[in-house]
Amino acid sequence: MFFTDYWALPKGHENIDFVDIRCNGDVHLFIDPERIALSQHPFAVDAQRAIEDFFDTLCRAANARDDGTLYHLCSFGQEPNETHFGMSTYHSRGKGSSLDILMPIVDEMIERGLFDSNLVTQLSDLHLWTPNFHYDRLSDLTTNIVRHVLVDYTWEQYKLLGLPLPDYNEVYEAPYWDTDNHRWTTCAFPRFCCDDYPILLVPKVFVGRQMLSSPSELLQKYALSYRQQEHLAQRSARCHVKIRRNGEEVLTPPTKRELYDTEVKGTPAKGYLLNLGREYPQMVRELHRDHTLQFATREIFMSDYELDRLLYGHIAFAG
């Protein structure tokens, strides 16, 4: 059952500002901190403030090797069931990243020097380099950070739609990132429910099928391009010689497919990325710069049509 079904609202994302979640299961979408920053949504300002403050606190603790603060920072990565986003195919399972999973990942990032080498420039970079931290765990962490913003957003949407608000005694305890005190805080939040399932609404522009910045994009568009330049500069044996019509010889680099097949295939892709990232740390900033440039064409956000197709499939609905 979708949220709009439960409340008898018009179906179709052109009619709503939020993702029409499946109340009794998960939608294969993820909250993306980079999309939040680029969205210019009215609720993005507070969300981005919390995300940046958490990230700044994490970087300071990592650089200082402050294990106590790192332990606290890694203690709230569990999957939040209220958004109904994630990998579960039916019921929300609430696994996420527990402390015993997240703490070793951050320790590994510190040991590899990721915080010292400008390879981690914002929260969305955390999943680019380590094999055990993927976009689903980044989404869970981000959701916990901005939970208070999502609660305020859901409250506003209920009021705009004329839906009954929860009673003041209908609450649940959950964490959020407190920007005033730079720490996790547990708070009693109003419990929004849909057919007895707890829910939180999320702006459409906050989500994607995966993160905007992905290891595969960083590899294909940036890392392999730098490797092409290296081969060309070294005039390596993998370069190709082309003969122009005038007889002039032109040296061209190996294709990205050739480089992938000979240098990446069969090896951990994130390990390959990390080695090139240390040599060319600027490629991470180039990745985010290009996403910012794409903002003008709105290519970075899911369209209403994409959301309709993903959630409803071929189900007919009134536009």
**What pLDDT is recorded for position 93?**
46
Cα 98 to its chain centre, rounded Å, is 18
Instruction: Name the band, by pLDDT with cuts 50, 70 and 90, for residue 86.
Output: confident
Q: What is the mean pLDDT of residues 190-205?
A: 94
Q: What is the mean pLDDT of residues 214-228?
A: 95
Lowest mean pLDDT among 15-29, 30-44, 50-64, 107-121: 107-121
pLDDT at 87 over 80: no
**What pLDDT is recorded for position 28?**
92
pLDDT tens sequence across 33-71: 999 999 999 999 999 999 999 999 999 999 899 999 999
Q: Which residue has the higher pLDDT, 120 or 296?
A: 120
pLDDT at 95 over 50: no
pLDDT tens sequence across 232-252: 999 999 999 999 888 898 999
